[in-house]
Amino acid sequence: MRATPSFRRRGLALLSAAAIALPLTTAVATPARADDVVSIGIPDWSGLNVTDYAGPIPAKAGTLMAQVPLSPSLTLPAASTAYRVQFSSENQHGKMATSTGAVFLPKGKAPKGGWPVISWAHGTVGMDDECTPSAHPRSERDVTYLGHWLDQGYAVVAADYVGLGTPGVMAYLNGKTAAHSIVDITVAAQQLQLPADARLAKRWAIIGQSQGAAAALNGARYATEFSRGRGLDYRGVVATGIPANLENLYQLMGPAVPPVALPGSLNAYTAYILAGLNNTRPDLKLTRVMTPIGKKRLTQGLSTCYPILKKELAGDDVKTWFNAPLMSIPGLSTAMRQYMLTPYRGYDRPIFLGQGLRDVDVPAPSALSLYAQMKANNQPVTLHLYPDDDHSSAVLASMPDSTPWLARILR
């Protein structure tokens, strides 16, 4: 069953209303956190700095290219062993590239058949190489969250996404490209040289938050296709703080939209989205409708990690970034949809959606509209709402529901 045009119009109206209400919500509600704290500073590459890598890249996606022990300061307390890895993966231009990430193994001896694997899709950190997650300590929230899955007996693989810590640009919120990294690090992890008692199972699932939720859902949609012939057994996905249908809102931006100033976090997301789209689709020539300040914001998006950019753009007015509507660019709507679509059909395994109702970064109508679309298309989805939680806290709040859910699908 297809979503009707009236449904799509209602979804757009809800999203637009939510976006307009965001600054008011932020001002009058009990303080709510945005996405989790992101570590910044001098990256620790664990002896594997491939930011300027110019060597050969295997033609087959998911080929392990290098593994080194992860620096002790970057590991998780719940992990027995951790590695930084480099592997081949497809970029946003359809070319084979290189990506990096981390692999964490649980403590103890692996069960018969090996540790089941969870592929973690991280949230917004920024687009510059200095923002690369595997080169910084994990946040307190993620130490707790990822540590919980290790304690449950799952190995955790965590891709950085192509372009973070590797040559090229990370295409922010381009879910299908991130999906390649999510799948390919899982394939590459099977090739690791591991201790005899630390074998990895073929069973695996995906978890993701915020930017990573869109990446995780794309990964789930294409997991079977992208890993075909590699011997893996994909089981399902957990996604929280889900960006969905936002292309319907972002394509409306111009000298009159948004009608009110947005929080610094949303301004930062906007800079990242436009910078990523501009790199992915240079033929659109986005800068033709952007003012000098708008062009400056694209540059800042490419070069500034999230905590800094959020502060720098606090109080900024996105309308001033444009001298004409984005939609005045021929093909913009289709291109933006292709770039940042979160799929609502085509899944072959179960889907867990978790949403905090106090989320001011990705408001509830985003996840709710996606859930409705998935149900209308007979997808295997379940939705869990957390009334007292925001964009970040919903991650940990979802664990009592997602833990038994994942245990069932990974049996």
Q: Quick one: pLDDT at residue 41?
A: 84
The alpha carbons of the chain give a radius of gyration, in whole angstroms, of 20
Burial class (CB in 10 A: 0-12, 13-18, 19+), 210: buried
What are the residue boundaries of the structural domains of the chain, listed by start?
64-244+342-409, 246-340
**In which element (H, E) is residue 177 found?**
helix 175-189
Q: Quick one: three-class SS letters along 189-220?
A: HCCCCCCCCCCEEEEEEEEEECHHHHHHHHHH
Alpha-carbon gap, residue 131 to 43, rounded angstroms: 8
CB 126 within 8 A of CB 173: no
Backbone angles phi, psi at 352, to 5 degrees: -115, 120
Beta carbons within 8 Å of 120's beta carbon, 6+ residues apart? 146, 156, 157, 158, 159, 207, 208, 212
Structure tokens at 74: 């970057």
Backbone angles phi, psi at 159, to 5 degrees: -75, 150
The pLDDT tens digits along the chain (411 residues) read 333 333 334 333 433 344 433 433 333 333 444 456 777 789 999 999 999 999 999 999 999 999 999 999 999 999 999 999 999 999 999 999 999 999 999 999 999 999 999 999 999 999 999 999 999 999 999 999 999 999 999 999 999 999 999 999 999 999 999 999 999 999 999 999 998 889 999 999 999 999 999 999 999 999 999 999 999 999 999 999 999 999 999 999 999 999 999 999 999 999 999 999 999 999 999 999 999 999 999 999 999 999 999 999 999 999 999 999 999 999 999 999 999 999 999 999 999 999 999 999 999 999 999 999 999 999 999 999 999 999 999 999 999 999 999 999 999
Nearest alpha-carbon partner for 212 in 204, 224, 220: 220
Nearest alpha-carbon partner for 281 in 93, 97, 103, 98: 93
CB 199 within 8 A of CB 110: yes
DSSP secondary structure of 297-359: HHHHHHH--HHHHHHHTTT--GGGGBSS-GGGSTTHHHHHHHHH----S---S-EEEEEETT-
pTM above 0.85, yes or no: yes
Q: Pairing state of beta strands 79-90 and 96-106?
A: antiparallel
First-residue to last-residue Cα distance in the chain: 31
How is domain 64-244+342-409 classified at the architecture level of CATH?
3-Layer(aba) Sandwich (3.40)
